[in-house]
Chain A
Amino acid sequence: MTTEVITDITEAEQGSSLWHDAWLRLRKNKLALFGGITLILFVIIAILTPWIAPYSYETQNLDLGATPPSAAHWLGTDIFGRDLLTQIMYGGRISLAVGFVATSVALIIGISWGAVAGYVGGRVDAAMMRFVDILYALPFMIFIVLLMVVFGRNILLLFLAIGAVEWLTMARIMRSQVQQLRQQEFVEAAISLGLPPSTIIRRHLIPNALGPIIVYTTLTIPSVMLLEAFLSFLGLGIQPPQTSWGLLISYGAETMEEFPWLLIFPGLALTLTLFSLNFLGDGLRDALDVRRSKD
């Protein structure tokens, strides 16, 4: 009896989950796919940079000075005769790391904060969200500048400061998701079945809240990278001897009249990455939109 039943189940038509449907939609979106592939490529390059960079990071050649792109230096050299491609590759490591790490900080704080506020509800929720509201009203951009001035240009502080700004939106999104889902009848059904809250959160709330969180995460990374580049451009972010795309753009801008490639190539690297992330985020938003699934 049992064996017969089990063959029955394995022979059953395989349903198509919302994740699967979303993937099919995403696959049709050429721009999002392009964004995803470019991004993966950049991340791989960033990870492998110490081994695949054409020159070592410290190599200078003051005699050579700034040269336009050539066979030896594909993207040219800067005024110290350093290979620009190498600089961009190492800068990319920092820029991407800031993007991913600071977003993770925001993700962890924001999701926990929002999930607790949304699930517990009542006065706790009101207090927690009022706190977020007050922080929201603070002019954070100016605060970050202030922090960097006061405490020196410390990359760890940069992660924390940027993460501290971005978690607010994440918390709001997570809370509204949880609140919306909590009122859904399938969560009531789970409660009336007697499932413990931990299981309800794990099986019923998180999988359904994941879509918007993924989308927002994808869109937070570029805004974090922009913030880093902005600060570095002002000289308040990454400091030499380290470098980042923002810093390279800032150097490039100083000498663009004579050596425009020093501005254009780092700018291209940053813009291309931001493009990829935004296209991917937009594509994911369209693909994961549950309302558009076939019902």
Chain B
Amino acid sequence: MALLEVNNLQVSFVTRMGTNRAVDGISFSVETGKITAIIGESGSGKSVACYSMLGLIPQPPGRIDGGEALFEGRDLLQMSEAQLREIRGRDVAMIFQDPMTCLNPYMTIGKQLMEPLLYHKHVSKEQAKNRALELLEEVGIRDPESTFENFPHQFSGGMRQRVMIAMALINEPKLLIADEPTTALDVTIQAQILKLIADLQTKRDIGVIFISHDLAVVADIADQIIVMQQGKVVEGGDSQHIFHNAEHPYTRKLLAAIPAGSKTPMAGETRPLIQVRELCTWFEQGRHKEPVKAVNDVSFDINRGEVLGLVGESGSGKSTIGRSILRLVHVTSGSVTFDGTDVTRLEGGDLKNFRSRMQMIFQDPFASLNPRMTVFDTLAEPLLLHGIENRKTVASGVLKLMDDVGLARNFVRKYPHEFSGGQRQRIAIGRALATHPEFVVADEPVSALDVTIQAQILDLMQGLSREYGLTMLFVSHDLAVVRHLADRILVLYKGEVVEQGTGDDLFERPQQEYTRQLLQSIPGRALIA
């Protein structure tokens, strides 16, 4: 008998706007001793399905319309709230996406850890504490004894996720539901947490549901994979089967969206467009503190027509380098020469003229567009400002841009909130290209998007950069994406350049320990090779 057997589960959300069937008759099963991954993009219903079984979606607006969820043969959907509570945290435990917000900031981690044990097992405080310390040790928290009384903010993101895992396992549950547990983490930390989950699962021989939007993440750990799209299971089965013999077009699309291969580096003569020399960008921290050295003594060239990839984890200073070149942050020292002119010294009108030659595409398409301006206003602004079009011709200029980035012309009077993330990123790309810049900084332009949309936007950017003859600095935390797109790659660590070279150089012959570590951490390496 399967540990969890879900049959024809249906969940809706009832709002004033109407009823939305979030989970539309899905069936799957989870075996003891196996990791079952549920894969889907945002809105596919993957989380709602799991939360609803445990009574963790608010009702209303949520509503379970039918189906059954047999956990060890008992239907969770028929249980009272009190019966479900007995199961939650004892037989079925959960960990969540963002370890920053999932621990109570007002309570010591020790108290939070012991809570499920004290509530479900009625042990003494002494016993609970000993058990909690054992688990902290097991999940790799150094010196649990002295950190027991600490508050969550005193831990890093990865450490908090370890605490969450310890808390979930403290009652030795039979099923662990992990909802995007590594999405908010840096890639090296992600690799550690994935390994930890896999190790603990094997050791305890329990069932795990691993919810993720990213097939690559689960490639190394999942035994079973279920692919969901718009509330339905489109394909499910053995992990090997999904990765090698996927049948459903959507699954294939997801697989195709995983960036693979290395770009062939630009051939021919190389003339630098941008020369960065000894660039330092420090942020003051108040009078008595050391400044944060976000970028520290960095030098490199970007050649004309080249895509230079900049990879690093959070805090490596990769975004700050892009912003320093564009003069969006104050540069502490060093120089950035653009086509022979030092842009760090430009002021006033000269700076304005240079700005039209260098543009930026931002990470978050929800924040990078003014919510109170229509597409027309957003795209017309740069055209008019730099005199590329006049009042009479601006409409045709705007429509031309919309054609270029693949937006339907009749959306021109719409506002940002009326678009999806991918469409918004197209608008943002259109705005950046409006002034016909020679150089574009793309700061994690796809990391906020669903995987299939990511692939579309990356294709669009590649096409446009050829068409417009762009030189590009492509900033990303994702090595696979950068390798796929960039001619050369710079690896950053704590504000300094650790290593640089072509994609193949770095992937095949990494010279530095940190680069090796980064490469080791890429999830599903087998898939992208």
Contact = CB atoms under 8 A, between A and B. Distances in A.
A15 B376 CA distance: 11
Contacts of B328: 188, 191-192
Interface in A257-272: none
Given A11-B410, A13-B414, A194-B386, A1 B396 contact: yes
Contacts of B375: 15
Interface in B373-393: 373-376, 381-382, 385-386, 392-393
A179 B13 CA distance: 36
A11 B399 CA distance: 13
Interface string A151-182: 00000000000000000000000000000000
Contacts of A72: none
A196 to B, nearest CB: 8
B362 A193 contact: no
A6 interface: yes
A56 interface: no
A2 B396 CA distance: 7
A193 B373 CA distance: 16
In this complex, the member of A1, A8, A194, A290 whose beta carbon has the largest number of chain B beta carbons within 10 angstroms is A194
Given A1-B396, A6-B395, A193-B435, A184 B355 contact: no
A17 B395 contact: no
Nearest to B359: A192
A184 B417 contact: no
Contacts of B417: 18, 21, 293-295
Chain B interface mostly: mixed
A115 to B, nearest CB: 17
A294 B371 CA distance: 12
Contact of A207 (B372, B393, B411, B412): B372
Interface string B426-458: 001001100100000000000000000000000
Contacts of A18: 371-372, 415, 417
B371 A13 contact: no
Contact of B358 (A14, A188, A192, A195): A192
A74 interface: no
Given A2-B393, A192-B355, A195-B385, A13 B370 contact: no
Interface string B302-334: 000000000000000000000100101000000
Nearest to B434: A193
B19 to A, nearest CB: 16
Contacts of A12: 409-413
A38 interface: no
B2 interface: no
A134 interface: no
Contacts of A203: 370, 373, 381
A208 interface: yes
A58 interface: no
B512 interface: no
A21 B374 CA distance: 14
Nearest to B396: A5
B376 A9 contact: yes
Contacts of B399: 5, 8-9
Interface residues of A, number: 36
Interface string B339-378: 0000000000001110110111011101111111111100
B145 to A, nearest CB: 40
Contacts of B247: none
B149 interface: no
B418 interface: yes
A186 B298 CA distance: 27
A16 B411 CA distance: 11
B371 A189 contact: no
B382 A193 contact: yes
B410 A13 contact: yes
Given A6-B395, A9-B399, A188-B360, A15 B418 contact: yes
A5 B355 contact: no
A186 B355 contact: no
B393 A290 contact: no
A5 B355 CA distance: 29
A194 B356 contact: yes
Interface in A197-211: 203-204, 207-208
In this complex, the member of A1, A11, A17, A203 whose beta carbon has the largest number of chain B beta carbons within 10 angstroms is A17
Interface in A43-58: none
Nearest to A186: B370
Contacts of B359: 192-193
Contacts of A195: 381, 385
Contacts of A185: 362-364, 367-368
A174 to B, nearest CB: 17
A191 B431 CA distance: 13
A195 to B, nearest CB: 6
Contact of B355 (A13, A15, A193): A193
Given A8-B399, A189-B368, A191-B328, A13 B411 contact: yes
Contact of B362 (A189, A204, A293): A189
Interface string A208-225: 100000000000000000
B413 A189 contact: no
22 contacts: A2-B393, A6-B395, A8-B395, A9-B395, A14-B413, A15-B414, A16-B418, A17-B415, A18-B372, A185-B363, A185-B367, A188-B362, A188-B368, A189-B368, A192-B326, A192-B328, A192-B358, A193-B356, A194-B385, A195-B385, A295-B366, A295-B417
Closest 9 pairs (CB-CB, A-B)? A15-B414, A194-B355, A185-B368, A194-B352, A185-B362, A5-B396, A207-B372, A185-B367, A186-B370
